[in-house]
Structure 1
Amino acid sequence: MKESLPHMKKPSKHLEEETLSTESIFQGKVVSLQIDKVRLPDGKTATREIIRHPGAVAVLAIKDDRIILVDQYRQAMGRCELEIPAGKLEPGEDPMEAAKRELVEETGYTCGRLELLHSFYTSPGFADEVIHLYVAHELQEGDAAPDEDEFVELLELTMEEALEAISQGRISDAKTLMAVYAWKLNKLTGEFRV
């Protein structure tokens, strides 16, 4: 059993905000936006803009000591980004099944086993999106089948090439940075962890 760190304390109830009202602003295919009016711990009120997202999955896949990435144009960034295979969860979809689906769709690879590395919030200050990051084991090549509005190019980089892509800003999204550093830690310790 893990012991608690002495300097860590349980979440502080006295910091919580009370939701007074919620106004739906936008309902899209992927996200929705709402404005919450909240009561602050000091009794004053404030507004919070919140993006609701169904969640997503991402897959760290290593084949022959190379990380499998896709190069994809990202409209929000205004440029292409090298990323690990990833995608949003469908309503009620099991994250592990979604990870298998996304790996095949974007890269053509299937895997014999997936291991959950970690689930994390992407931007908790304004969004509830959670990404479930998996490591794929026992990879087998196949044919990719991207969504009709998804245009990707497959790349396989060595550790050195991935680190160079980070230093050049070609890899700059959180899930891929986390995956590359988890891979690097694995090479040093023999364990996958974040």
Structure 2
Amino acid sequence: MGELDSTFDHDDVTIESDEALYQGFFQLRGLRFRHRLFGGGWSPAMHREIFWRENCTCVLPYDPWRDEVVLLEQFRAGALGREASPWLLEVVAGINEAGDDGEATARREAEEEAGLTLGRVEKICDYLVSPGGTNELVHLYGGCVDAQGAGGIHGLEHENEDIRVQPLAFETAMEGLRCGRIWNAPAIMALQWLALNRERLRDEWRAG
């Protein structure tokens, strides 16, 4: 049987240099390092460019009374050049500010991006987005909301946000997964979590 424990840890990596290559809205860093090998000894020194950013928090707003999720539609430059539209259906998301944990960020961003007040919040998971090229870590949550009256255009003007808030029936959102209309990782993962936990959440969250 296999083991879940890692063979190596941070002590098994030697960082020889760490240089900021670019600093704009995000940062690009160049690392030169060596690490231990499974077969014994050390790797040769290698260089990698890493897209560097602060931790991010995403939250799926779910109304257990109306059986609705609230998704956000907005333009994403990283989706250009694909067949599908670069206007994505997403969950609420934001970069953690200094001193904020994931839940604090989830509550702030739900208000800023969707005009929603979160009630109970449940942690889904933490995950690395693409560790071969970025250090980005996402804290993923589900949050209880009253979706009645949700909608409209939201976002912060000074951050160039243009966000359309869309309440969707649970089954409509799941059809979005099946047909590929929803094709970004946080929304896919959060909706799959909701599908697995929906009946429990309806019982627990409606009970207060």
Which residue of 2 is the match for residue 146 of structure 1? 155
Structure 1 residues 7 and 153: alpha-carbon distance in aligned structure 2, compared to 1, 3 A threshold: same
Q: What is the aligned partner in structure 2 of residue 105 from structure 1? A: 112
CA distance change for structure 1 residues 27 and 91 in 2, over 3 Å: closer, same or farther?
Answer: farther
Matches of 2:153 and 2:56, distance apart in 1 = 19
Residues 48-102 of structure 1: CA deviation (Å, up to 9, x unaligned): 1112111111111112111110110101112100001111112232321111011
In the TM superposition, residue 144 of structure 1 has moved relative to its aligned partner by 7.0
Structure 1: 4+ residue segments shifted above 6 A: none
1:187 to 195, 198, 201: 198
For the residue of structure 2 that corresponds to 1:182, the secondary structure is helix
Structure 2: gaps of 5 or more residues: 37-41, 81-85, 203-208
Mapping 1:40-59, distance limit 5 Å:
40-41=35-36, 42-59=42-59
Q: Which has the higher helix share?
A: 2
Q: Given the alignment, which residue of 91, 96, 111 partners 2:98?
A: 91
User: 1:27-176 alignment to 2 at 5 Å?
Assistant: 27-29=23-25, 31-41=26-36, 42-63=42-63, 64-78=66-80, 79-139=86-146, 145-148=154-157, 149-176=160-187
Cα deviation digits, residues 6-47 of structure 1 (max 9, x gap): 521421128943211112101123x21111111243341111
Residue 7 of structure 1 aligns to which amino acid in structure 2? G
Tell me, yes or no, if the aligned pair for 1:104 and 1:144 is still in contact at 8 Å: no
Q: CA RMSD in A?
A: 2.4
Is the Cα contact below 8 Å between 1:108 and 1:144 reproduced in 2? Answer: no
Aligned length: 185
The letter of the residue matching 1:52 is: W
Alpha-carbon spacing, 1:14–1:131, altered in 2? closer, same or farther (3 Å): closer
| AA in 2 matched with 1:69 | L
**2:21 pairs with one of 14, 18, 25:** 25
TM-score of the aligned structures, taking structure 1 as reference length: 0.84
Quick one: distance in 1 between partners of 2:97 and 2:166? 26
* Segment drifting more, 82-91 vs 166-175: 166-175
User: Relative to total residues, which structure has the larger strand share, 1 or 2?
Assistant: 1
Q: Hey, what's the Cα distance between the residues in 2 that align with 1:14 and 1:154?
A: 42
Alignment check: 8 A CA contact 2:73 2:164 kept = yes
Q: TM-score, normalised by structure 2?
A: 0.79
| Partner Cα separation in structure 2 for residue 178 and residue 124 of structure 1 | 17
Q: Unmatched 5+ residue regions in structure 1?
A: 1-5
Using the aligned pairs only, state the percent identity. Answer: 29
